[in-house]
């Protein structure tokens, strides 16, 4: 990845972070080049309570398209966090790709109820088989429901599970400066070309 790609990735990361912190029901997020195109994507994880007191886990992928952050694909897991269960969302690396792994277990019997490994390509989410070569696990979200139905969310991505906006900081200014630098470098390179 060249210097322009690195600068662009830094700008995109800042924009994605601001977007993630502003989303209601957001529980965790990750910013990676999931589809190996040298551009960053945003994985946003939300957990919502339904009218019947069940919960739904949603994995959304967003991409910057024509300067706007747009949803590229979505995958929902219904009826998660039933009484006495726990679930996790973890990032892994497998065969050079970023992998998203969701698993739900019975917390009392320690048995896996369901699990799915996903990667993101230009065609959207694709299911993969998780193999023994998967490495570098990074937990994003751990959640559990006790036998009384009380749900606890543990965010490991740095996003407050309440979905509240991040405190004001200098990310916008940094993004503007990086964008100016990219434009200047591109102008210089085109002038030398």
Per-domain residue ranges for the chain? Answer: 26-163
User: Which one, of 171, 143, 172, 183, lies nearest residue 55 by Cα?
Assistant: 143
User: Which one, of 59, 75, 61, 47, lies nearest residue 162 by Cα?
Assistant: 47
**Block residue for tokens 């991409």:** 63
**The two structure tokens encoding residue 166:** 């991040």
Q: Is 2 exposed, middle or buried (0-12, 13-18, 19+ CB in 10 A)?
A: exposed
pLDDT value of residue 163 = 40
Write down the pTM of the prediction.
0.80
pLDDT value of residue 80 = 94
CA distance 186 to 184: 5
Q: How many CB atoms lie within 10 A of CB 106?
A: 13
pLDDT value of residue 191 = 62
**Alpha-carbon torsion 180, 173, 13, 46, what sign?**
negative
pLDDT value of residue 130 = 84
Q: If the chain, 193 residues long, is cut into consecutive pieces of 10 residues, what is the mean pLDDT of each piece?
A: 70 89 92 91 95 93 92 96 94 90 89 91 90 87 91 88 41 49 56 58
pLDDT value of residue 13 = 86
pLDDT value of residue 135 = 86
Point out which residues pair with 17 in neighbouring strands. Answer: none
**Block residue for tokens 């979505």:** 74
DSSP class of residue 167? Answer: P
DSSP class of residue 165? Answer: P
DSSP class of residue 158? Answer: S
């Amino acid at each position: 990845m060249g210097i322009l790609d690195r600068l662009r990735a830094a700008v995109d990361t800042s924009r994605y972070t601001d977007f993630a912190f502003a989303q209601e029901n957001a529980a965790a997020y990750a910013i990676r080049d999931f589809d190996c195109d040298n551009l960053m994507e945003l994985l946003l994880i939300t957990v919502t309570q339904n009218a019947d007191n069940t919960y739904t886990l949603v994995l959304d992928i967003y991409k910057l398209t024509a300067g706007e952050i747009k949803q590229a694909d979505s995958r929902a897991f219904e009826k998660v966090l039933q009484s006495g269960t726990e679930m996790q969302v973890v990032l892994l690396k497998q065969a050079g790709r970023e992998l998203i792994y969701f698993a739900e277990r019975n917390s009392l019997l320690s048995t896996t109820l369901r699990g799915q490994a996903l990667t993101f390509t230009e065609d959207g989410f694709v299911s993969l088989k998780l193999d023994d070569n998967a490495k570098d696990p990074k937990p994003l979200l751990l959640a559990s429901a006790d036998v009384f139905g009380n749900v606890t969310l543990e965010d490991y991505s740095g996003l407050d599970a309440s979905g509240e906006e991040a405190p004001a900081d200098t990310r916008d200014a940094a993004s503007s400066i990086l964008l100016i630098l990219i434009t200047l470098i591109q102008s210089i390179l085109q002038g030398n070309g």
